[in-house]
Structure 1
Amino acid sequence: MKQDVSEEMLIRYLLKEAVAEEEKAVKDWVQESEANARELEGMKMIFESGKQLAPVSPLKADAAWDKFKELRSAAQQNDKKLRSLYPAANWFRVAAAVTIFVGIGCLLFNILKNKADNPGNMVSIRTLKNVKVVTLPDGSIIHINKNSSITYASNFNSRRVITLSGEAFFKVKHNEDAPFTVITNDLTIKDVGTAFNVNGKNHRTEVIVESGIVQIGHSSASVRLNANEMVTIKAGERNMTVQRSTDILYNYYRTNQFVAFNTPLHRLVDVLNEAYDQKIIISNKLVINEPITVTINRDDSLARILNVIKGTTPALNIVKNGNGYSIQ
């Protein structure tokens, strides 16, 4: 489908912040007609003149952009009047245009610079009962688990910082010039070219690295995690101990499957409780570490899933208990 070219897209193109699809759309648009090419060239000229003459603007970005469009319209009307009054005086029209466009250039340059440098324009994405898959402007992909949210600045390509509440899986496009950073609770997680899961729910933060390397730190300590390593930090704790990641249950909301391979029963129960907002209690402490090997579809009901788990270990006795379940 052909993509519409807006003025905001042209701004991003001039600032070299447009994504690949937008760059292609602008180039195709320029090829469509000489008028389009002249319009883009005019914006470039205004931008360059303003860059030289106007280091400061008192207007905020949105108000300044409206003012720019108003002045540009006035300039076009003045040009039409000059054409009718002085059809032969091209030099006069040129001089007037230069005067008008230099003034407009000062304004437009500050608009563009404000849009590029101001991180105050924030993008927020929130989930409720469903998982969302989001592709960021840099091509990185985030799977956001239910009841979670991410926030980032609109100038994300130059400042790749994500604030996370809840849980998400990050598959990052590595860029040494713009490090990818996730902030959750009081932890800062920096990508060194990787895919990783972050869970900041239930008064603790868990980071599991699937591939690559991440750097995790807070005000008093930092650790580096490699593939198949993890750290879990409870609220208020400062120590971070690196451990091996022994299962892939964290992936359930991305793959839509619970995959357990010799996984302790308590670990599988913890994930099921979180996934289904249920309260499953292991009342028989003798089976708390019972190894479970099973693959379960997330779309199945919790009652069916528990029945499948019981089938793998007949010694388990699962009892419905009010709004929850008890494993005896």
Structure 2
Amino acid sequence: MQVDKTIEKLIAKSLRGKISTEEQNQLNDWYRESAQEVEEISDYKLRKKEEVKNAIFWEVEKKITPHAQLFPRTRNQSIPFQWAVAAGLLVIISMSWLFRFQLGHSAESTDRTGQYEVFSNPAGTKRKIKLPDGSSIHLNHNSEVQVAADYSSNRLVKLSGEAFFEVSPNKELPFRVLTESLETRVLGTSFLVNARPGSPESVAVKTGLVKVQLSNEIGETLEPLQQVRLEAGELNRTELIDAESVFGWTEGKLVFRNSTLPQVLKALEDWYGVTIKSNVDKYPNCRLTATYHNLNLEDLLLAVNYSIPISYTINQKNIILRIQGC
């Protein structure tokens, strides 16, 4: 988590009780955005409160200690001031962890429904969910996963949207993912399931073997770098030619392959959680092929401008973008 000098000053003012209402609102906005970057503690069945406190301590220490130049010393800035800012960060990050743990990892995104614990990501949000057996789920934006309350006895999850799974081996108890039409079974592997509304359900395998079947027991066994799509009620297996375009988002990569501009802008809205208004309808034949890695929105738009001339205005979560040709 990087903190600019403006936020440092606001934290210091808040600690001293000399912050204005406008400045406090700015600090609150920063906190809400930054809280999403904290990796969620979600092996909810096994961790005790004391373990959570320890996790908070070590996570915060990792964020503060290695970066000796995070708060560079100046002639007019004393060491106590730096520690005050660090203390402010510690409080904010710790509150984020405790809030997410005690209230079910965020009141907006997690809920208990019947026999499942539900994790939902809105646009602009991606997160990693750790399961009790050591398996993990990378949940993409606009997606929801339900984890069985008795997960340790059945390793069952339900998915709507898109997620990448890293499954701990257990020959006695297969890991199962249920979507609207498919059931995916594995013993220990990594794979991606896409069950977004309006698109064919698909499964792509990165490592290991995966069995995918319809409710009527017709199935396919996939090897690494193979995928299967559900089309017209049948499973169609193909080789995965461009793995980066499928798995890239799990590594912070936004990947476009001959994508139309409406597809590009929709992907940006989902990735960054923004609303974009543009004149895209005037350029139906423009396409983009590129990979962007861990860029903030403005840096990405600057990079896009090298391929497609654009101008834009950013007002918080609202973007006005004008395409100037292609």
TM-score normalised per structure 1? 0.51
**CA shift for structure 1 position 178:** 0.7
Query: 1:148-297, aligned counterparts within 5 Å?
Result: 148-204=143-199, 205-219=201-215, 221-233=218-230, 237-251=233-247, 253-258=249-254, 263-266=257-260, 269=264, 271-272=267-268, 274-276=270-272, 283-285=283-285, 288=287, 292-297=289-294
Partner of 1:87 in structure 2? none
CA distance in 2, matches of 1:307, 1:244: 31
What amino acid is aligned across from residue 211 of structure 1 in structure 2? T
Task: Identify, as 1 or 2, the structure richer in strand.
Answer: 2
The CA distance in 2 between the partners of 1:305 and 1:241, in whole Å, is 34
CA distance in 1 between counterparts of 2:144 and 2:290 reads 32
Q: Secondary structure at the match of 1:203?
A: coil
Q: CA deviation at 1:163?
A: 0.5
Name the CA distance, whole Å, in 2 between partners of 1:191 and 1:132: 22
- Shift in Å, 1:284: 4.8
The code of the aligned residue for 1:283 comes to Y
TM-score (norm 2): 0.51
CA distance in 2, matches of 1:282, 1:264: 18
Question: Which of structures 1 and 2 has the bigger CA Rg?
Answer: 1
Q: Percent identity?
A: 24
Aligned Cα root-mean-square deviation (Å):
3.8
Larger helix percent: 1
3-state DSSP of counterpart to 1:208: strand
CA contact (8 A) 1:196 1:211 kept: yes
Q: Structure 1 unaligned runs (5+)?
A: 1-17, 26-119
Contact 1:150 1:163 in 2 (8 A): yes
For residues 293-316 of structure 1, what are the alpha-carbon distances to aligned partners after superposition, in whole Å with 9 as ceiling and x for unaligned? 443434223xx42441342x4xx4
Number of positions where the alignment pairs a residue of Structure 1 with one of Structure 2: 205
- Measure, in 2, the Cα distance between the counterparts of 1:209 and 1:228: 5
* Partner Cα distance (2:270, 2:202) in 1: 14
Q: How far off its partner does 1:179 sit?
A: 0.4
1:1-328 to 2 correspondences below 5 Å: 121-129=115-123, 130-204=125-199, 205-219=201-215, 221-233=218-230, 237-251=233-247, 253-258=249-254, 263-266=257-260, 269=264, 271-272=267-268, 274-276=270-272, 283-285=283-285, 288=287, 292-301=289-298, 304-311=299-306, 313=307, 316-318=308-310, 328=326
Amino acid at match of 1:210: K
Contact 2:249–2:255 under 8 Å retained in 1: no
Change (3 A) 1:282 1:212: farther
**Distance between the aligned counterparts of 1:163 and 1:128, measured in 2?**
17
Determine if contact 1:209/1:225 at 8 Å carries over to the other structure: yes
Aligned 8 A contact 1:160 1:179 in 2: yes
